[in-house]
Amino acid sequence: MDTHSIDTQNMKKAIYDFSDHLVQTMEIGNAFTPKNMFNNIQNIVVAGMGGSAIGGDVCQALLSDELKVPIFVNRNYTLPNWVNEKTLVICSSYSGNTEETLSAYEDAKGKGAHLCGISTGGTLTENLTADNYDVIITTSGLQPRAALAFSVVPMLYLLKGQGLISDSIFEDMSKTIELLRIQRDYYAAENADNPTYTLAKSIYKTLPIIYGASATTSVAALRLKGQFCENADMLAYHNELPEMNHNEIVGWENNADLFKHISVLWLTDSNDNDRVKFRQEITKRIIEVKNKNQYIVSVEGSSERIRLLHMIHFGDWVSYWCAIFHGTDPSPVEPIMQLKAELS
């Protein structure tokens, strides 16, 4: 696999290795035995930020047809007031030192919630260990956004350990690994036969707006927005259908001189609601009057879960190739580091 000199930390390999990360994290998860069993869990909160929080969003989407209690992803210093002794709070911080997550951890303790966590080490691991809570320690050395598997899969095993989910998700995970090990070689190729490369070449000089569907691809749209921002240093935005039809569609009227600088990506899935599919067709036609720079993105997979993970992997590659077309190193996130330095 060829790498670029501007890719100083080899983000290409980190993306390419996603299926290998899934294997590694399943091995870590299979070795996990919970110390604590909690009864009568009525809701789940995932406390995290950035690349760690997105794992909660992905789990929520993957488990939407199975989990009997709601998952809420909390990106804040404090937790909602409804958190109590019937809440399972999963603190997820790849570094273990994310200040918002550490604050949420203390808030969860104060509210009497059940706690567990995922990290590579740091203060979060120290706190969880000292307080005798379960913690799954994962592999370090990656950018948090490139460690998605190390957030998602341990979370699934924590939920399984509490008897909240079955093994079916892990069967789909194994099938995803098989599929992505084939697809990644196409997506890593720098040529016109690679759909992630050609899409990136078409949109890298634009501001992408990504539209997903609320029940299927919205989390992939959220993920892709963040990847454009962090990997390619490009602003991007996302929304979902049908909600977008009740407000944002009207925004495609004024400031039409800006539209030539915008691209629209429609993330679609074969399991999208029929009415949502119809809404997408109509909305696309309405927007085409002002902007023809639109692209439909769909991927293969034998189940909705597999297609979701495939879509996320596809989008990660698009963001990587956008960085390469810009001549941008896809790994450093200097504004984030500056912000953290000033906060400290």
How many CA atoms are closer than 13 Å to the CA of 14, on its beta-carbon side?
A: 23
Integer Cα distance of 289 and 207 in angstroms: 18
Q: Report d(CA 290, CA 277) in Å as an integer.
A: 21
Beta bridge partners of 295: 265
Neighbours of 336 (CB within 10 A): 11
Q: Which of 68, 246, 253, 334 is catalytic?
A: 246
Q: For residue 242, is the peptide bond before it cis, meaning its omega torsion is within 30 degrees of 0?
A: yes
Q: Is 253 a catalytic residue?
A: no
Whole-angstrom distance, CA of residue 95 vs CA of residue 337: 14
Query: Three-class SS of residue 182?
Result: helix
Q: Which residue out of 100, 111, 230, 310 is catalytically annotated?
A: 230
DSSP symbol at 144: G
- Asked if residue 320 lies in contact with residue 12, where contact means CB atoms within 8 angstroms, the answer is yes
- Told to judge if 225 belongs to the known catalytic residues of this protein, a careful annotator would answer no
C-alpha–C-alpha distance, residues 294 and 288, integer Å:
8
Query: Can you tell me the distance from the alpha carbon of 79 to that of 114, in angstroms, rounded to the nearest whole number?
Result: 13
Q: Which of 278, 275, 272, 314 is nearest to 297 (CA)?
A: 314
Which position has the token pair 């992408």? 208
Angle (CA) 315 316 317, round 5°: 90
Sheet holding 294-297, edge to edge: 237-241, 207-213, 262-267, 294-297
Cβ(52)–Cβ(101) below 8 Å: yes
Is 205 noted as a catalytic residue in this protein? Answer: no
Structure tokens, 21: 């990360």
**How many CB atoms sit inside 10 A of residue 102's CB?**
19
Active-site residue set: 230, 246, 340
